[in-house]
């Protein structure tokens, strides 16, 4: 027992040494990276609902904690402080909801700022500095919308948008690499996300661009007189079919397989799902959004209902405006106005592997005792009281008009 305790103590000591070594490596990076003499802004573009990290690439050696600031535009007096002054605020990304306030969707880790599920409203300037207002590094972040994104299907011979060139600037799309095939062993799909960029020699010089004279379309370095044409350009995504084999998994050993066959002969072999299954009951007529565990918008994600493949060529949002079941660009599966036919098991693929299943059952709303706290009860009471007031007003108005008519008719003539 004493030897075990000694071994545990040695392991903990080694962990502390490794942690201290990691911190010293981080500090060495700051020593090697000098801060610019004038504050510059690095341009960075992302698609809405994505998460991203902004590292504070330089700081003085005597600074032990940094403060992140957010400005919608340069010189704005409305500045948000995105951290406590100790730089110790952390969030669990699993508790973040789409559309929540930016102050609830960030985290500070080793001087870096992490924004979860970024929205278009998060576009602006991010500055790394101190609580006294000294700034070391800055970013010009452009979060481009995903709702009005342009979609092209290669299988239907559709092509991306063409470049647009004018006298002083040109607008084009820069594509990321193709994602992995979202399924294996069967026909799958690949996505390629493209963001809007502009090339011009008239960009504001305080913004650092790589390559030179090229920034994202929503950058603050683009002159205002160019915005009218540039804002009409939307991000785009290209989708194509793919087929890739599944990675062979190691099967059970011979002894385990024999025991399993013996159990099956003695009694009925229990049903074992191929992936973890989550059970959910949905009320008839209500809406439901299903997210794939561990998936992000940039991942390759696919959905199946039982044995039916829900391909994006038919179920991507925007393909048909009257769709009740669709997949958004954040890889979420939407079911509007759930019906009895929606019952079944929905399987989720992530990066080419099936990872989870959702057993959905749809039922009627059961009878229960109403209370004054229920929204339906409050709405009914409000409607009844409003109707009562209107009827009372009409009743009083009718009697007042009759009384006025009677008074005028019965008044003596002079």
Residues 161 and 236 sit within 8 Å (Cβ to Cβ): yes
Residue 385 within any structural domain of the chain = no
Q: DSSP letters of 177-207?
A: PPPPPS-SSSEEEEEEEEEEEEEETTS-TTE
pLDDT digits (tens, 9 = 90+) for 382-411: 889 999 999 999 999 998 888 888 777 765
Residue 116 within any structural domain of the chain = yes
On whether both 76 and 168 belong to a single domain, the answer is no
Angle at 248 between CA 357 and CA 276, to 5 degrees: 15
Domain residue limits at 37: 26-144
pTM of structure: 0.66
On whether both 164 and 140 belong to a single domain, the answer is no
- In 259-412, at which residue ranges do the beta strands (DSSP E only) sit? 277-283, 288-290, 301-305, 308-310, 325-327, 333-335, 344-350, 353-363
Longest distance between any two alpha carbons in the chain, whole Å:
123
Residues 291 and 350 sit within 8 Å (Cβ to Cβ): no
Residue 304 within any structural domain of the chain = yes
Residue 378 within any structural domain of the chain = no
On whether both 216 and 321 belong to a single domain, the answer is no
Question: Sorting pLDDT into bands at 50, 70 and 90, what band is 261?
Answer: low
Locate 291 and state its tokens: 């997210």
Q: How many domains, the chain?
A: 3
Can you give the length of the chain in residues? 414
On whether both 122 and 153 belong to a single domain, the answer is no
Residue-level pLDDT at 82: 78
On whether both 41 and 93 belong to a single domain, the answer is yes
Q: DSSP letters of 24-77?
A: HHHHHHHHHSPPPSS--EEEEEEETT--EEE------TT----EEEEESSTT-S
On whether both 154 and 196 belong to a single domain, the answer is yes
Residue-level pLDDT at 17: 41
On whether both 239 and 278 belong to a single domain, the answer is no
Cα-atom radius of gyration of the chain, to the nearest Å? 31
Pick the last residue of a domain from 227, 246, 265. 246
On whether both 53 and 157 belong to a single domain, the answer is no
Tell me the mean pLDDT in the region 214-237.
Answer: 89
Residue 392 within any structural domain of the chain = no
pLDDT digits (tens, 9 = 90+) for 70-113: 888 776 667 788 764 444 443 333 443 444 455 567 777 778 88
Dist CA 249 CA 256 (whole Å): 16
CATH of the domain at 280: 2.60.40.10
Residue 282 within any structural domain of the chain = yes
On whether both 152 and 131 belong to a single domain, the answer is no
Tell me the mean pLDDT in the region 277-296.
Answer: 88
On whether both 87 and 178 belong to a single domain, the answer is no
Residue 368 within any structural domain of the chain = no
On whether both 121 and 150 belong to a single domain, the answer is no
CB atoms near residue 405 (< 10 Å): 10
């Amino acid at each position: 027992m004493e030897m075990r305790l000694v071994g545990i103590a040695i392991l903990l000591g080694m962990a502390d040494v490794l942690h201290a070594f990691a911190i010293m490596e981080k500090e060495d990076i700051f020593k090697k990276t000098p801060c610019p003499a004038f504050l510059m802004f690095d341009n960075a573009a992302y698609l809405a609902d994505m998460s991203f990290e902004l590292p504070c690439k330089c700081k003085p050696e005597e600074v032990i904690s940094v403060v992140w600031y957010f400005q919608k535009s340069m010189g704005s007096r409305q500045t948000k402080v995105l951290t406590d002054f100790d730089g110790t605020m952390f969030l669990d990304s699993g508790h973040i909801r789409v559309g929540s306030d930016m102050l609830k969707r960030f985290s500070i880790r080793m001087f870096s700022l992490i924004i979860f599920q970024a929205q278009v409203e998060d576009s602006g300037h991010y500055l790394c500095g101190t609580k006294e207002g000294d700034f070391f590094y800055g970013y010009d972040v452009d979060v481009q919308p995903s709702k009005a994104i342009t979609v092209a299907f290669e299988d239907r011979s559709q092509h991306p948008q063409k470049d647009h060139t004018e006298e002083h600037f040109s607008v084009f799309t820069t594509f990321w690499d193709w994602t992995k095939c979202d399924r294996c062993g069967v026909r799958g799909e690949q996505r390629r996300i493209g963001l809007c960029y502009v090339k011009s020699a008239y960009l504001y010089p305080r913004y650092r661009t790589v390559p030179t004279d090229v920034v994202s379309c929503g950058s603050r370095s683009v002159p205002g007189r160019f915005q009218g044409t540039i804002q009409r350009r939307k991000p785009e995504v290209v989708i194509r079919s793919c087929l890739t084999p599944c990675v062979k998994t190691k099967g059970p050993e011979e002894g385990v397989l024999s025991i399993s066959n013996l159990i099956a002969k003695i009694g009925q072999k229990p049903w074992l799902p191929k992936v973890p299954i989550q059970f959910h009951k949905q009320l008839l007529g209500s809406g439901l959004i299903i997210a794939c565990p561990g998936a992000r918008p940039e991942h390759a994600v696919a959905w199946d209902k039982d044995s039916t493949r829900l391909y994006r060529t038919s179920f991507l949002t925007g393909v048909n405006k009257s769709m009740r079941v669709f997949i958004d660009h954040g890889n979420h599966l939407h079911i509007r106005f759930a019906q009895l036919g929606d019952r079944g098991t929905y399987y989720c693929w992530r990066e080419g592997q099936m990872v989870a299943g959702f057993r959905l059952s749809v039922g009627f709303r059961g009878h229960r005792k109403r209370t004054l706290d229920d929204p339906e009860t409050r709405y009914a009471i409000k409607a009844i009281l409003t109707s009562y007031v209107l009827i009372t007003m009409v009743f009083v108005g009718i009697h007042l008009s009759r009384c006025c008519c009677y008074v005028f008719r019965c008044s003596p003539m002079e």
